[in-house]
Structure 1
Amino acid sequence: MTVGQRLKTARIAAKMSRNEAAKALKCSIHTLKSWELDRHRPKPITICRIEAFFGLDKGHLTADRHHNYDQAMTNLGRAISRLPAKKQHHALQIIEHFSKLISNR
């Protein structure tokens, strides 16, 4: 999700209209709409204010979770490929085990 999509999701979850959110964030409706549509991006200090207002974790709006996940998986794959064959097999079994544990939550 983009910053704008996360912002819009937070606003809707708070059951606020764009007009209400703009007033609360002390910006124009046009500005809020441009952020939500990813035409413009709020300044970092404004992002912190928005996250605090909606009760979001710091960095929630800007976190690129898919990129971090993809990068982690790439790094893991490279690390496993450097292992001897027997250890590769063992590492993959451990990952499968953790995957099953996580999916059973």
Structure 2
Amino acid sequence: MLGGINNSLFLISLSGFAVVAVMIVILKWAFSRNKSIIEKNKKLGTADQYGLLKVAHSPKNHIEGEMLRQKLLEVGIKATLTQTVEGPKLLVFEKDLKIAKATLNS
């Protein structure tokens, strides 16, 4: 007890501020986005490195690929056009693969 007052309440309130300050620092670090000025090099992969996505078509260029992707979107099939080592590929989920190939062939 300094000066005749109970300092425990004062110290408890200061420790609360310290805990909040530490939590603020941790949360700012955890939820910060990577704001690097230098763009990372893009890595091209093969068509089998895209997990659940399978190749539905191999267009000649991105313009043709985008037209085919829009055709699939019109019938309700989600499609992704990406650049691979072998060239542009139109990728769909495996459950939609047969329908996508039939749609693209018609």
Q: Same fold (TM over 0.5)?
A: no
Structure number with higher helix proportion: 1
Q: Structure 2-normalised TM-score?
A: 0.27
Structure number with higher strand proportion: 2
Q: Larger C-alpha radius of gyration, 1 or 2?
A: 2
